[in-house]
Amino acid sequence: MKKKWTFIFAFSVLLGNAVTVLAQTEPEEIKVEGDKFQDFFYESIFQKSIENYDKSLVALEQCLKLKPNDATIYFEMGKNYQYSKDYKNAYSSYEHATQIDPNNKWFWVGLYDVCYETKDFNQAIVFVNKIIPFDAEYKEDLVSLYMATKQYDKALAGINELNEKVGKTERREMYKMEILSEGKYQSSEIDNLKAQIESKPKEEANYIALIFLYSNNNDEEKAMEVAKKLEKEIPESVWAQVSLFKSYIENNDGVNAVKSMNMVLASSKIDIKIKHRILNEFLLFANANTQFVPDLDTAIGYFKNEKTINVAKEIGKFYHNKKQWVQAIKYYELSEKNSSDVDLETNMLWLQANTELKQFEPVVKKAMTMIDTYPAEPQFYYYAGMANNQLQLFKKAKDILEMGLDYVVENKNLEINFNIQLGEAFSGLGDASKKELYFNKANQLLKEKK
């Protein structure tokens, strides 16, 4: 059966084959009486098959003289004109066939084909509506024609009818998304989804679609009503928890929010982006309601195998930006524990957070370990030197800083900090000359920055 709207046109009538559609016979397959007529008719079929359309038409003209009111001859003439891209005569021939016999599907299909090829989609709609009583599968074509002519209200009605009768298809769902992106069509779709939910209360997809529509319209109250109804009808539905979670957070109901969040994060049905959004919302909630921080730690466990985003690290950075250093360090360490790879940024941030807390001994230890792993990374030399200065281990600080300074390339801020720390180290060692030398270098670099 012809599926026209793939934007690649294919004829469904295969000449010379016996094809029966809804008890109708392809016109050219009708047994032709009379030797002379039969000879001309089959000569036309032969010439058409080898693409000699002009000769085929000559033979059909002879047939027409013998049987001037035969719809099949006009249909065959229409085919030859159509294959020759003489669309005006093709249309006229098919139209003549329908006037003689309006009850043959194929004659209307010929007119539809011509309109489709000439992109006269509005007229094509007229002919598809003539075909549908013979072949309901052409309702798919009708939906696509309504989309092409931007008759979205009719397209939406057709989509919903087909979804109900024959099930959803990817193409129709794409059409529906396009239609519903325009708000004026959402009201009718909301009514349709409500009706679908009433008639099929166990069909999860209808609840989900309605929740999204209400959410997109910022009608969270109605979205929540649907989510609760979904939870009642299909208790195992994790999609209900996505909406319920948001409601619980807004109502400051942390206990139920945690339950919903854990169901969502544990589900393989929910897209990872939705999971990240839920975790971010809970992070903000837990930051204001610290009794739920342990639940945040549990939630991170669901992302252990997530490769695209290091969740623990991102939470550490959240606390880092808020200058909540203890919390930041906790999540940087959790990130490192969950990862088999050494992450430079996480270690830099960990060193900075511990420096802010004046925890210089662990800073020295971590920085020296990182120097062994990344001997050309100057930041680690800086942290090791700075922390040793703070611990008054000036000789160690000097040696490490002098070594690391060689690796500083095109980073003026870091170079300034190195010179300041070297000045501090030489000051601690009692070398006033070197102290002034490095402090002066730092000052000169600061002036160059301005």
**25 DSSP β-pair partners:** 20
DSSP character string of 328-356:
HHHHHHHHHHH-SSPPHHHHHHHHHHHHH
Domain 1-149 shares a fold with domain 358-450 = yes
Burial of 282 (0-12, 13-18, 19+ CB in 10 A): buried
DSSP for residue 31: P
Please report, in tens digits, the pLDDT of each residue of the chain (450 residues total).
343 433 223 333 323 332 333 335 555 555 445 589 999 999 999 999 999 999 999 999 999 999 999 999 999 999 999 999 999 999 999 999 999 999 999 999 999 999 999 999 999 999 999 999 999 999 999 999 999 999 998 999 999 899 888 988 989 989 988 888 777 888 888 888 898 899 889 988 888 888 888 877 778 788 888 888 898 898 888 888 988 898 899 899 999 999 999 999 999 888 888 899 899 999 999 999 999 999 998 999 888 878 788 899 999 999 999 999 999 999 999 998 887 778 899 999 999 999 999 999 999 999 999 999 999 999 999 999 999 999 999 999 999 999 999 999 989 999 999 999 999 999 999 999 999 999 999 999 988 876
Q: Which CATH number fits domain 358-450: 3.30.497.10, 1.25.40.10, 1.10.3720.10, 2.60.40.1930?
A: 1.25.40.10
Q: Which of 325, 330, 323 is nearest to 297 (CA)?
A: 330
Domain 1-149 fold is 1.25.40
For the chain, the structural domain boundaries read 1-149, 165-233, 358-450
C-alpha span between 282 and 295 (Å, rounded): 9
Torsion of CA 127, 133, 137, 141, to 10 degrees: 20
pLDDT of res. 25: 52
What pLDDT score does 450 carry? 67
User: What is d(CA 194, CA 183) in angstroms, rounded to the nearest whole number?
Assistant: 17
Q: At what angle do helices 325-338 and 344-356 cross, to 10 degrees?
A: 150
Structure confidence at residue 4 (pLDDT): 42
Cα 290–Cα 295–Cα 300 angle in degrees, nearest 5: 115
Indicate the helix (H) or strand (E) that contains 230: helix 220-233
- Contact of 32 with 6, CB cutoff 8 Å: no
pLDDT of the residue at 182 = 77
* 3 state DSSP class of 267: coil
Find residue 21's DSSP bridge partners: 24
- CA-CA distance, 446 to 443, in Å (whole number)? 5
Q: Check if the beta carbon of residue 135 is closer than 8 Å to that of residue 1.
A: yes
Count CB atoms within 10 A of the CB of residue 168: 13
- C-alpha 238/C-alpha 244 separation (Å) is 10
First-residue to last-residue Cα distance in the chain: 76
- Give the count of beta carbons closer than 10 Å to the beta carbon of residue 131: 22
H/E stretch holding 250 reads helix 238-250
Helix (H) or strand (E) holding 326: helix 325-338
